[in-house]
């Protein structure tokens, strides 16, 4: 994962046929772990995003190993990772089955 222009991107190393890419596209949401924290996220197709900047960010972060995700197949399997909307924390009122205690 790399951060470019305030957005988080990921290349699927094995391309669009990889299980992780297909699952992310099919479900559109998932969880990522960053350090000890787990975050619910949405996966979006990157479209015509900043491809050269994404590649540069991978090189800066991962060094020579970044070459693994610079293939045309990996670039075609690029997803933007967005935060999922916060879940509602509203309480649901549940009627009680107990009568008052004397």
Contacts of 19 (CB under 8 A, 6+ apart): none
In sequence order, the β-bridge partners of residue 78 are 11
Whether the CB-CB separation of 65 and 59 falls below 8 Å is answered with no
- Residue 99 scores a pLDDT above 50: no
pLDDT at 87: 67
pLDDT tens figures, 37-69: 888 899 998 776 788 899 999 999 999 888 878
Mean pLDDT of the chain: 81
- Residue 3 scores a pLDDT above 90: yes
pLDDT at 4: 94
């Amino acid at each position: 994962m790399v951060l470019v222009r305030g957005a988080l991107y990921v290349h699927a190393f094995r391309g669009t046929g990889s299980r992780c890419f297909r699952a992310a596209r099919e479900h559109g949401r998932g969880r990522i772990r960053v350090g000890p924290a787990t975050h619910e996220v949405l996966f979006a197709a990157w479209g015509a995003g900043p491809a050269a900047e994404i590649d540069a960010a991978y090189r800066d972060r991962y060094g020579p190993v970044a070459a693994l995700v610079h293939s045309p197949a990996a670039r075609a399997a690029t997803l933007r990772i967005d935060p999922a909307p916060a879940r509602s924390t509203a309480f649901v009122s549940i009627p009680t089955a107990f009568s008052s205690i004397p």
